[in-house]
Amino acid sequence: MQLHWDIFCRVIDNYGDIGVCWRLARQLTNEHGKKVRLWLDDLNSLKPFCPAIDVLLANQTCLSIEIRHWTENAAVDRVAEVIIEAFACELPPLYLQEMAQVSPKPCWVNLEYLTAEAWAESCHGMASPHPSLPLVKHFFFPGFSAASGGLLRESALLDKRDAETAHYASDDALEVSLFCYETAPVSELLDVLAESSTAVRLHVAPGQPTTAVMAHLGGSGPWEYGKLSIRPFDFLSQDDFDRLLWRCDINFIRGEDSFVRAQWAGKPFIWQIYRQEDAAHLIKLTAFLEHYATGLSPAARDISVDLHKAWNSGGSLRQAWGTFLQARPEISEHSAQWARQLANNPDLANALVKFCVIKV
| 131-151 tens-digit pLDDT | 999 999 999 999 999 999 999
Q: Is the distance from CB of 202 to CB of 176 less than 8 angstroms?
A: yes
Q: Is the pLDDT of residue 159 over 90?
A: yes
Tell me the pLDDT band of 307, cut-offs 50, 70 and 90: very high
| Bridge partners, residue 84, by sequence | 7, 109
> In the predicted model, is pLDDT for residue 163 greater than 70?
yes
Q: How far is CA 152 from CA 142, 205, 223, 257, in A?
A: 8, 22, 35, 9
Specify the higher pLDDT residue, 25 or 360. Answer: 25
> What's the mean pLDDT when you consider all of the chain?
95
pLDDT exceeds 90 at position 59 = yes
pLDDT of residue 360: 66
Q: Report the distance separating Cα 271 and Cα 287, nearest Å.
A: 13
The full set of domain ranges for the chain reads: 4-153+346-359, 157-342
- Give the residue among 257, 223, 264 at the shortest CA–CA distance from 243: 264
Q: How many CA atoms lie within 13 A of 12 on its CB side?
A: 13
Question: What is the pLDDT at residue 108?
Answer: 98
Residue 314 has pLDDT above 90, yes or no: no
What digits encode the pLDDT tens for the residues 178-236? 999 999 999 999 999 999 999 999 999 999 999 999 999 999 999 999 999 999 999 99
Task: Report how far residue 9's alpha carbon sits from residue 97's, in angstroms, rounded to the nearest whole number.
Answer: 19
Contact between residue 73 and residue 34 where contact means Cβ atoms under 8 Å apart: no
Buried b (16+ CB within 10 A) or exposed e, 263-290: bbbbbbbbbbbbeeeeeebbebbebbbe
C-alpha 17/C-alpha 78 separation (Å) is 24
Helix residue ranges per DSSP H, 177-316: 186-194, 208-217, 238-247, 257-265, 280-292, 298-313
Q: What is the mean pLDDT of residues 31-58?
A: 95
Q: Are 190 and 209 in contact (CB under 8 A)?
A: no
Q: What is the pLDDT of residues 243-300, one digit of tens each?
A: 999 999 999 999 999 999 999 999 999 999 988 877 889 999 999 999 999 999 999 9
- Phi-psi category of residue 112: left, alpha or beta, with phi > 0 → left and psi -120 to 50 → alpha: beta
User: Is the alpha carbon torsion for 256, 257, 260, 266 positive or negative?
Assistant: negative
pLDDT-derived band at 42, boundaries 50, 70, 90: very high
Residues 6 or more apart in contact with residue 122 via CB below 8 angstroms: none
Per the rule left: phi > 0, alpha: psi between -120 and 50, beta: everything else, 123 is alpha
The CATH number of the domain covering residues in 157-342: 3.40.50.2000
Beta-bridged to residue 269, according to DSSP, are 251
**Which active-site residues does the annotation give?**
17, 256
Q: Which amino acid is at 12?
A: I
Of 199, 190, 194, which Cα lies nearest the Cα of 226?
A: 194
Which residues, at least 6 apart from 119, have a Cβ–Cβ distance to it below 8 Å?
A: none
Please list the residues that pair with 271 across neighbouring strands: 253
pLDDT more than 90, % of the chain: 90
Collapsed DSSP state (helix, strand, coil) of residue 143? coil
